[in-house]
Structure 1
Amino acid sequence: MEDPGGSCEVTSGSRDESSSPRVTPPLAIKMIKSRGKILGVLALFLVMVWYSISREDSFYFPLQENKTTCPVGEVEKKAAQLIANYTRDRPLFLQLKDYFWVRTPSLYELPYGTKGSEDILLRLLSVTSYAMPESIQSLKCRRCAVVGNGHRLRNSSMGETINTYDVVIRLNNAPVHGYEQDVGSKTTMRLFYPESAHFNPRRENDPDTLLVLVPFKPMDFQWLEAILNDKKRVRKGFWKQPPLIWDANPEQVRILNPYYMEVTAAKLLNLPMKQPRKVKQKPTTGLLAITLALHFCDLVHIAGFGYPDSADKKQTIHYYEQITLKSMATSEHNVSHEALAIKRMLELGLVRNLTYF
């Protein structure tokens, strides 16, 4: 008897079609096409997300090149396009032999030469050193990161990347302790001058960090000599009182060759070597550090450089303190001029930026 609902009895052992409804061929094809479109759109979306993330990472936080490839000679080639008479023959640090056996003639007084400071240099260089650690000097490829003090390092999470470089150069009193996630913990060289020496040399640096004095004036030599030899402290002649106690190991102290200040001023900023007292301009320690790296490293990356827009009066300029661009108004630095010099380096591919500039 025929079932009123149109179903038929299923015998045991036969296929149960009630749990798998029969689909006509045209409907099955439509479903397959629909699912294919969905999967295709999903795949395209995933590819676009991956591409966007990879582009963003490469722009803001580029990783180092493969350790097996080193652009040896590239920095020299590109630096020669920017710096007239570029050479790597000049020593990075002043040496005692140049002031003991032979009085090295210098055309300029500080900060561009040592004219008039020979006698105190004899005493100072006898208790310091000039050598670069063999672990750095012997590297076949010196990959360097120059870490500026800019606000853009705050919350950047760049610390791990910065620590991967062979040489990490830091500036002045910029702290490391407490900021490791953003700025790293490794310090190969720290450039400073007396007024910026308000940091604990043993807390903010590694035990083998080189403390590199950037001499701007003869009083800077007198301060360092008094500190290292525990003589009567020099208190006058500074725009800001330098520390009277500075726990530094003399074996780690170096005196930067003023030649690099001359190159920075004359060849990157086109400043005259002799300026009227009232309108003196000098390079910042940051630009000087980049110049130093261009004469020593095979690869130069920078991080934390650049200032806020001049119209933004409230934005802090450093990652570790609350001073604004207003504080630069009375300085002897032309930050706009320096920004153009760094942008030129970026355009030439001479340096690479790890943070936006």
Structure 2
Amino acid sequence: MLQGKVWCLRLLPIPLLIIILAAYNCSYGVLGRYGIINQSWNTSKAVCDDWVTQQKWESLNFKFNKTTKLFLKLEDFFWNKYVSQLPLPYGIKGSEQMLVKVLEAAQSSDMPAHIENLECRTCVVVGNSFAIKNTSLGSIIDKYDVVIRLNDAPVRGYEEDVGNKTTLRFFYPESASSNPRLHNDEDTLMVMVPFKPQDLRWLKENLKDEKRVRKGFWKPPPLIWLGHSSKVRVLDPYFMHQTANKLLHIPLQPRKGQVSFHPTTGILAVFVALNYCDVVHIAGFGYPQKSDQQQPIHYYGSHTMKAMKSSPHDVNLEGQALKRLEKLGAIMFLHPHL
């Protein structure tokens, strides 16, 4: 009798091991279904070949070539390479002199060499949507070569869901945090997206420590901005132009009486990633239904859909564009979404 009990105890770990393995395989399959787990995270050409990136880009039918030159350079102006027929945010017409002053103050206009030289760039764009809350995606997000974040979205205190690595942060004066060092890495590049001439003036005044002028903003930007000049970049308005014109089909110069929309920094960042990166995943995108006026729109703060009533963005149009990109296989969401 005693001997039989001993054998039962010896056999007990076997069914437990089977249960553990089954649970692991089940969870791995669920995560893999949503693209949270990739077979390979090394930056090898095999990853790029697996995504067939060039064919996916061509399937977008944009009818123009990808470009990996992201930022404006001072030498472009000296050699008259940059000719623009449109003002900000779709061109630099009328802002050339201010841009030269900004680029003189900034100490570089390149991407870091360790990223630029990768054979295959894996990138994730982390949006600010409430959809990323409680996803526990942080450790996955931090594995990408390039992590792009938006505006003043916080990282500290939200690492479990959003990670803590930031390669590029897209921002403009009204969305700037007064101290970028709080929620970014030491080597994070702060990428200015200029929507209007005042945005460049604000950046110049901060980089050169000049007297600040606060007129011309829909929301007061920080009077003191502690970003380091060596980490500042200015995104080429070409990307805003192509996001609006090719991806969203927004009129660049609305007719009289038409509502004027322009892309959000989120959809813009996705388009930039499609140009620069070989693998593009996204997380934290999507807004609540318009009928739900109480649902928070961000994973932080308390803003709801009411705050979007006077927005200059067409979030429904952008949502449709993301679904189209997902269907084509150009991007992949890291979590379930509507």
The RMSD of aligned alpha carbons is 2.3
Question: Which of 40, 54, 57 matches 2:31?
Answer: 57
Q: Per-residue CA shift, 1:183-229, capped at 9, x if unaligned? A: 10100000000000025211111111000000100110000000110
Q: Per-residue CA shift, 1:256-275, capped at 9, x if unaligned? A: 00000011101111111112
Aligned to 2:287: 307
Q: Judge conservation of contact 1:103–1:118 (CA < 8 Å) in 2.
A: no
Q: Judge conservation of contact 2:32–2:38 (CA < 8 Å) in 1.
A: no
CA-CA distance at 1:90 after TM superposition: 6.0
CA-CA distance at 1:251 after TM superposition: 0.6
Instruction: Report 1:194-205 matches (<5 A).
Output: 194-205=173-184
Residues 175 and 46 (structure 1), Cα distance of their counterparts in 2 relative to 1, 3 Å cut: closer
> Is the partner of 1:287 in helix, strand or coil?
helix
Q: Judge conservation of contact 1:80–1:86 (CA < 8 Å) in 2.
A: no
CA-CA distance at 1:159 after TM superposition: 0.6
Aligned to 2:237: 258
- For the pair shown, the structure with the greater C-alpha radius of gyration is 1
Q: Judge conservation of contact 1:149–1:174 (CA < 8 Å) in 2.
A: yes
Residues 234 and 277 (structure 1), Cα distance of their counterparts in 2 relative to 1, 3 Å cut: farther
> Is the partner of 2:164 in helix, strand or coil?
coil
Q: Judge conservation of contact 1:83–1:268 (CA < 8 Å) in 2.
A: no
Q: Judge conservation of contact 1:147–1:170 (CA < 8 Å) in 2.
A: yes
One-letter amino acid matched to 2:78: F
CA-CA distance at 1:55 after TM superposition: 3.3
Q: Distance in 2 between matches of 1:302 and 1:53?
A: 21
CA-CA distance at 1:312 after TM superposition: 1.3
One-letter amino acid matched to 2:137: M
Q: Judge conservation of contact 1:162–1:184 (CA < 8 Å) in 2.
A: yes
Q: Judge conservation of contact 2:147–2:166 (CA < 8 Å) in 1.
A: yes
CA-CA distance at 1:105 after TM superposition: 1.3
Determine what percentage of the aligned residue pairs are the same residue: 47
Aligned to 1:118: 96
One-letter amino acid matched to 1:62: I
Q: Distance in 2 between matches of 1:60 and 1:75?
A: 19
Aligned to 1:209: 188
Q: Distance in 1 between matches of 2:207 and 2:256?
A: 31
Aligned to 2:52: 74
One-letter amino acid matched to 2:307: S
Residues 135 and 51 (structure 1), Cα distance of their counterparts in 2 relative to 1, 3 Å cut: closer
Aligned to 1:157: 136
Q: Judge conservation of contact 1:154–1:182 (CA < 8 Å) in 2.
A: yes
Aligned to 1:323: 303
Instruction: Report 1:213-228 matches (<5 A).
Output: 213-228=192-207
CA-CA distance at 1:85 after TM superposition: 2.2
Aligned to 2:105: 127
Aligned to 1:345: 325
Residues 65 and 87 (structure 1), Cα distance of their counterparts in 2 relative to 1, 3 Å cut: farther
Q: Distance in 1 between matches of 2:17 and 2:222?
A: 62
> Is the partner of 1:126 in helix, strand or coil?
helix
One-letter amino acid matched to 1:116: G
Residues 44 and 305 (structure 1), Cα distance of their counterparts in 2 relative to 1, 3 Å cut: same
Q: Judge conservation of contact 1:75–1:299 (CA < 8 Å) in 2.
A: yes
TM-score by length of 2: 0.88
Q: Distance in 2 between matches of 1:82 and 1:137?
A: 24
Q: Judge conservation of contact 1:202–1:248 (CA < 8 Å) in 2.
A: yes
Gap regions ≥5 residues in structure 1: 1-18, 20-41
TM-score by length of 1: 0.84
One-letter amino acid matched to 2:336: Y
User: What is the number of equivalent residue pairs in this alignment?
Assistant: 319
CA-CA distance at 1:93 after TM superposition: 0.3
CA-CA distance at 1:44 after TM superposition: 11
Q: Distance in 1 between matches of 2:84 and 2:238?
A: 10
Q: Which runs of 4+ in 1 moved over 6 A?
A: 42-48
Q: Distance in 1 between matches of 2:39 and 2:29?
A: 16
Q: Distance in 1 between matches of 2:274 and 2:71?
A: 15
CA-CA distance at 1:302 after TM superposition: 0.3
